[in-house]
């Protein structure tokens, strides 16, 4: 006897199998139906050169490609919200139907449509597009982003001197809008060929970028070095005067290569310009000077080679090391020639004074007159007049024979100050002063009584000013 429970169980199993068979049948019919559909239609989600080909036939897609090509516009999104366009008519852009779209369709297997769901279905640069290259180049070159009036060059961040802080601040980079033309042109070509309708020049990275930005570690290190340099204070000691050099001047000498590695160099021309000004203000070489004579007369003396002379080039070179050291210093400049006093009155109170017209000589040491004597200077009649001016004593020597054309004169005390012209004893003369020099004078030297020459020799040092007027 058959159990009722078993009958129900067997019936339920038959129903389940029947339902499964129905579902499978429906799916099979659907699969076959879709396979038949995809024999002549593109997979869903298919795009060809930007045209949506989902479920469309080859003929429909060709029509769409023709229409989209005729109305094609490439939108160019530039910086500062500027926009430009390249249109199909500008470049004679055309789509010519051929077998390429059909080949794309044939590559999509009708019976394999399920697997096709999971594959990329975007096709670019695979259809027969054509355009006039000359027209494209013409339109491309006419874009306003290439107009020199509109182009802003990129510029790296750089250090700038702030006089209110005596320190450097960072000026941020300028992005500019200069386009990398070749890269941009290739991008435009690819976009046209693929049907892409927009290009963001920023996102596409076709703008030239500044070499360095405000976040550059090399820039930050350069700022530290520059601040160290402009923090230096140099005090020049000119005895009764002081001259201060600080960051307000030093910053003018510093050059920074902001487009590379922020290397800091010193502008030698600017530094020499500064030392030239220093020399103009404090060098006295060859200057005209006010002078009070031994007789109390105020005169101006010009000529000669006496005085302070700053070595502009060497002082500029020395300042490079001073600034790099980063420490405040007090210094005197490097001199080509020095005088006896660094005060405004650089003659001081030790000097020899010679009145050419009065034929008289005085020697003062530390303000005290040690010698006052008549002398004989260069012979006027023979053209040997002793030059006026102020000269430093070159050196002093004993027992020298002075020689020249047609003469040789031994002297005991020789004090040259202007080439071969000097002060010396003249034992061959019995008298000095008066008008002797007019017709019976020397070859240019200052003939002096023996005892007076000796006195001067014993108390004078090289460099002492010899004043002739």
* Residue positions annotated with a catalytic role: 424, 445
Separation in Å, CA 334 to CA 237, 247, 308, 455: 12, 21, 10, 34
Q: 187: helix, coil or strand?
A: helix
Helix 181-194 to helix 133-141 angle (10° resolution) is 130
The percent helix, strand, coil of the chain (3-state, each to 5) is: 35, 25, 40
Q: Which long-range contacts (C-beta less than 8 Å, at least 24 apart) are formed by 147-152?
A: 150/177, 151/176, 151/177, 151/178, 152/176, 152/177, 152/178
| Tokens encoding 370 | 């040690």
Instruction: Tell me the Ramachandran region of residue 401: left when phi exceeds 0, alpha when psi lies from -120 to 50, beta otherwise.
Output: beta
The structure tokens 């010899």 sit at: 466
Instruction: Tell me the Ramachandran region of residue 120: left when phi exceeds 0, alpha when psi lies from -120 to 50, beta otherwise.
Output: beta
Q: 254: helix, coil or strand?
A: strand
How many of the other CB atoms lie within 10 Å of CB of 425? Answer: 23
Q: What are phi and psi of 303, to 5 degrees?
A: 95, 170
Separation in Å, CA 211 to CA 180, 214, 219, 230: 14, 11, 12, 26
Helices (H), 48-170: 58-70, 88-91, 100-106, 113-116, 133-141
Burial of 197 (0-12, 13-18, 19+ CB in 10 A): middle
List residues bridging with 86 in a β-sheet.
Answer: 74
Q: 239: helix, coil or strand?
A: coil
The structure tokens 């102020």 sit at: 390
How many of the other CB atoms lie within 10 Å of CB of 156? Answer: 21
Instruction: Specify the DSSP class assigned to residue 172.
Output: P
| Tokens encoding 348 | 């001081």
């Amino acid at each position: 006897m058959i159990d009722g429970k078993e009958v129900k169980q067997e019936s339920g199993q038959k129903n389940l199998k029947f339902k499964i068979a129905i579902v499978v049948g429906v799916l099979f019919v659907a699969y076959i139906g879709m396979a038949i559909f995809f024999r002549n239609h593109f997979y869903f989600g298919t795009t060809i050169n930007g045209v949506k080909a989902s479920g469309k036939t080859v003929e429909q897609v060709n029509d769409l490609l023709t229409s989209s090509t005729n109305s094609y516009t490439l939108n160019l999104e530039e910086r500062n919200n500027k926009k430009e366009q390249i249109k199909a008519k500008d470049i004679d852009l055309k789509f010519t139907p051929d077998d390429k779209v059909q080949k794309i369709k044939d590559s999509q297997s009708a019976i394999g449509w399920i697997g096709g769901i999971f594959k990329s279905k975007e096709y670019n640069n695979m259809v027969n597009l054509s355009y006039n290259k000359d027209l494209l180049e013409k339109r491309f070159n006419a874009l306003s982003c290439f107009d020199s009036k509109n182009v802003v060059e990129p510029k790296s961040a750089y250090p700038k001197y702030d006089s209110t802080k005596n320190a450097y601040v960072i000026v941020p980079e300028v992005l500019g809008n200069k386009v990398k033309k070749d890269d941009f042109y290739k991008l435009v070509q690819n976009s046209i060929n693929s049907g892409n309708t927009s290009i963001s020049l920023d996102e596409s990275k076709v703008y030239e970028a500044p070499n360095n930005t405000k976040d550059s570690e090399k820039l930050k290190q350069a700022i530290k070095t520059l601040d160290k340099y402009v923090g230096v204070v140099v005090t020049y000691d000119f005895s009764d005067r002081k001259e201060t050099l600080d960051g307000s001047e030093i910053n003018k000498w510093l050059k920074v290569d902001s487009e590379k590695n922020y290397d800091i160099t010193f502008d030698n021309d600017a530094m020499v310009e500064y030392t030239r000004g220093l020399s103009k203000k404090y060098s006295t070489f060859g200057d005209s000077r006010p002078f009070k004579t031994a007789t109390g007369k105020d005169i101006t003396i010009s000529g000669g080679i006496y005085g302070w002379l700053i070595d502009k080039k060497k002082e500029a070179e020395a300042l490079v090391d001073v600034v790099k050291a980063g420490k405040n210093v007090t210094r005197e400049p490097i001199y080509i020639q020095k005088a006896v006093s660094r005060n405004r009155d650089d003659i001081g109170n030790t000097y020899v004074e010679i009145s050419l017209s009065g034929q008289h000589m005085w020697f003062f040491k530390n303000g005290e007159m040690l010698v006052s004597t008549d002398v004989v200077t260069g012979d006027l009649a023979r053209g040997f007049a002793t030059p006026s001016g102020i000269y430093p004593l070159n050196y002093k020597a004993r027992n020298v024979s002075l020689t020249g054309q047609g003469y040789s004169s031994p002297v005991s005390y020789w004090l040259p100050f202007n080439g071969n012209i000097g002060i010396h004893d003249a034992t061959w003369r019995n008298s000095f002063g008066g008008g002797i020099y007019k017709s019976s004078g020397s070859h240019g030297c200052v003939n002096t009584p023996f005892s007076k020459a000796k006195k001067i020799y014993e108390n004078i040092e090289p460099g002492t000013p010899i004043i002739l007027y």
